[in-house]
Amino acid sequence: MLLCNDDRQAILESETALLEESGFIISDLTRPTSARISPYGLPMGEHCVSSALRAHASSSLFLCDASLAEFDRIAHTTSFPEGAVLFLEGQSPQGVYILCQGRVKLMTTSRDGKTIITRIVPPGETLGLQSVVTGKPYELTVQTLQPSQLAFINGAQFLRFIKEDVDVCLYVAQQLGRECQSAYEVIRSIGLSHSVSEKLARLLLQWSGDGPFTDDSIGFKISLTHEEIAQLIGTTRETITRTLGELKKRRVLEVTGSTLLIRNRAALQALVDH
């Protein structure tokens, strides 16, 4: 059942007040798009959610124009600086975030303080989905890796949206399936790999998928620290630094600033297949 205009306005005002009390920066959708720039240098587009979801190929399989427009209508666009925590592992779910611009990392921390990054998330993905659907606490902590623009949708409103729109329901099912697949990949990478070299080689080959080819070489940008790479494969910063150094000595790869060039892809693949 759709909400009347008065109900929608009351929900919008209460949710906006809640976000502002938390220190979030809410974009003023009444101003022209060209005049809105966030404090972190990101352009605040008027159709943040629909633009991000359209660019995310898997999302466009299910969502029609009307569904995308409703996403834009019920979402609150928010800007965060680098290093901002969106929500914490174990926290009660308040809603979902859709990443419009920037990148975030999903991570979990053990009781002894060891942190593992389960995934680096690109624009177009929905965060906190499983917890909002099940009503259980967030399973992971989410933190921005760079200035980012996200859209927040209150949990109760998002659940109503799912009930009213079959396309969105299919989208949610697909996203939950992707999260499950990602968890399997983490288990294979961390739990079934025999050495740090194998884990790192697997990660670099995965990252190289979108990189440009130059003869037999593949180059791509890495904006993660050695500590963050270590957290992705369950090891230490020192081990990552040492392993990268060994691969450079063997001329398997080169690192210049934030650019990594794989010079011998076959050698990396051999580490994975070993």
For 211-237, the pLDDT digits (tens) are 555 556 788 788 889 999 999 888 999
Looking at the structure, tell me whether residues 113 and 13 fall in a common domain: yes
Which residues, including other chains, have CB under 8 Å from residue 12's CB and lie 6 or more apart?
Answer: none
Looking at the structure, tell me whether residues 264 and 153 fall in a common domain: no
User: What is the per-residue pLDDT across 79-88, written as a single tens digit (0 to 9) for each?
Assistant: 999 999 999 9
Better-predicted residue by pLDDT, 220 or 238: 238
Q: At which residue do the structure tokens 């979902």 appear?
A: 96
Residue 94 lies in domain:
5-190
Looking at the structure, tell me whether residues 59 and 163 fall in a common domain: yes
Looking at the structure, tell me whether residues 131 and 261 fall in a common domain: no
Are 32 and 38 within 8 A, CB to CB? no
pTM of the model: 0.74
Read off the CATH number of the domain in which 257 is found. 1.10.10.10
Looking at the structure, tell me whether residues 11 and 46 fall in a common domain: yes
Read off the CATH number of the domain in which 60 is found. 2.60.120.10
CA distance 206 to 119: 12
Q: Is the dihedral of CA 9, 12, 18, 24 positive or negative?
A: negative
DSSP assignment letter at 37: B
Confidence of residue 31 (pLDDT cuts 50, 70, 90): very low
Looking at the structure, tell me whether residues 95 and 13 fall in a common domain: yes
Are 96 and 170 within 8 A, CB to CB? no
pLDDT of 48 higher than 90: no
Q: Choose among 2, 195, 232: nearest CA to 114.
A: 232
Q: How much is the CA Rg of the chain, to the nearest whole Å?
A: 21
The number of beta carbons lying within 10 Å of the beta carbon of residue 9 is 11
Looking at the structure, tell me whether residues 25 and 96 fall in a common domain: yes
Amino acid at residue number 194: H
Looking at the structure, tell me whether residues 184 and 205 fall in a common domain: no
CA–CA distance from 259 to each of 136, 179, 208 (Å)?
40, 28, 11
Looking at the structure, tell me whether residues 204 and 183 fall in a common domain: no
pLDDT on residue 44: 66
pLDDT on residue 19: 45
Residue that terminates a domain, selected from 190, 212, 238: 190
Number of domains forming the structure of the chain: 2
Residue that terminates a domain, selected from 129, 156, 190: 190
Are 11 and 154 within 8 A, CB to CB? yes
pLDDT on residue 96: 97
Residue that terminates a domain, selected from 148, 173, 190: 190
The number of beta carbons lying within 10 Å of the beta carbon of residue 7 is 10
CA–CA distance from 78 to each of 87, 93, 127 (Å)?
14, 18, 14
Looking at the structure, tell me whether residues 156 and 260 fall in a common domain: no
Looking at the structure, tell me whether residues 174 and 52 fall in a common domain: yes
